Amino acid sequence: MEIKLADSEMKVMEVLWREGDSSAKHVADVMNERYGWNINSTYTFLKRCIRKGAVERREPGFVCHATLPLEEVQRTETEKLLDKVFAGSVDKLFTALLGSRQLTAEQLRDLKRMVEELEEEEK
């Protein structure tokens, strides 16, 4: 089952993915510092994430644990982007990415290495 997260919920999740299990108060403090959110807004978004099954509330202390792995969200969002913007075409996505940014020689080497590893896996 795919869990759909709104942008505001994704921001809350990012704190948990980066920092690990955190108290709701800590998440609220981070969101206030970054985005100027008040504590009630953060708690509302946390509760939505809990209701959707992306976060588990642990006691004591309203500690939040991300149950939805970052990698799963990245994979799902990438697939949606591919389908929505690039008609499912990975090569069109890469063309857009490579055409819009200057890559360092190291980044180009890394990309070449990844492609070579994929080619080896297919053999």
CA dist., res. 100 & res. 45, Å (int): 33
Supply the pLDDT for residue 98: 78
Q: Please, where are the H alpha helices in the chain?
A: 7-19, 24-35, 39-52, 70-86, 90-100, 105-122
Tally the domains of the chain. 2
pTM, 2 dp: 0.77
Percent of the chain whose predicted confidence (pLDDT) is above 90? 66
45 and 95 in a common domain: no
Amino acid symbol at 107: Q
Please list, in sequence order, all residues whose beta carbon lies within 8 angstroms of the beta carbon of residue 28, skipping any fewer than 6 positions away. 37, 39, 42, 43
User: For residue 83, is it within any domain?
Assistant: no
User: For residue 1, is it within any domain?
Assistant: no
User: For residue 75, is it within any domain?
Assistant: no
Q: How far is CA 78 from the centre of its chain?
A: 10
Give residue-wise pLDDT tens across range 68-118.
999 999 999 999 999 999 999 888 888 887 776 777 889 888 988 988 998
Domain assignment of residue 39, given as a range: 7-70
98 and 63 in a common domain: no
User: For residue 61, is it within any domain?
Assistant: yes
